[in-house]
Amino acid sequence: MVNDPEGNFTIDLGQARWGDVALGLDFQYLLGTWRGGRWQPYLGLGTSEYFRNGSGTAIDGTFVEGALDNISAGINSTAGWDIALARGVVLNVGGRAVLASDLRANGLQAALGYRVPRSSP
């Protein structure tokens, strides 16, 4: 507790950094094709692992660093469309939801991908 009758007291604790690495694996089920095979909607489920690390001179060795250092598992759900742009080239547009013990996140994504075309029998 700080008693500051003049209102000019400052506290500088320096910087704290919080980094994380996420590893995930999703399985997706293609629901068929639309518009002549160019659009493929999908639904997916998966799992993920999150490794977090907090650091900084102000928190090193304190309970704050211990609270920020964490390993947790989560489940993912995905939904979206793969849109064929050219032979083998697809635009993926979709959403992802993550539920972990200490993380809840929703996101939208857009990505370009390449699929190896099937060879004709």
What is the tens place of the pLDDT at every residue in 35-61? 777 889 999 999 999 998 888 887 888
pLDDT on residue 48:
93
| pLDDT of res. 4 | 78
Q: Is residue 4 part of a domain?
A: no
Asked whether residue 1 is domain-assigned, the answer is no
List the domain range (segments joined by +) for residue 73.
17-114
Out of 3-17, 59-73, 80-94, which region has the weakest mean confidence (pLDDT)? 3-17
Q: What is the pLDDT of residue 121?
A: 61
**2, part of any domain:** no
Across 1-121, the runs of DSSP E, i.e. the strands, are 17-30, 39-55, 70-86, 89-100, 103-114
Q: State the Cα–Cα distance between residues 72 and 79, nearest whole angstrom.
A: 23
Rounded to two decimals, the pTM is 0.64
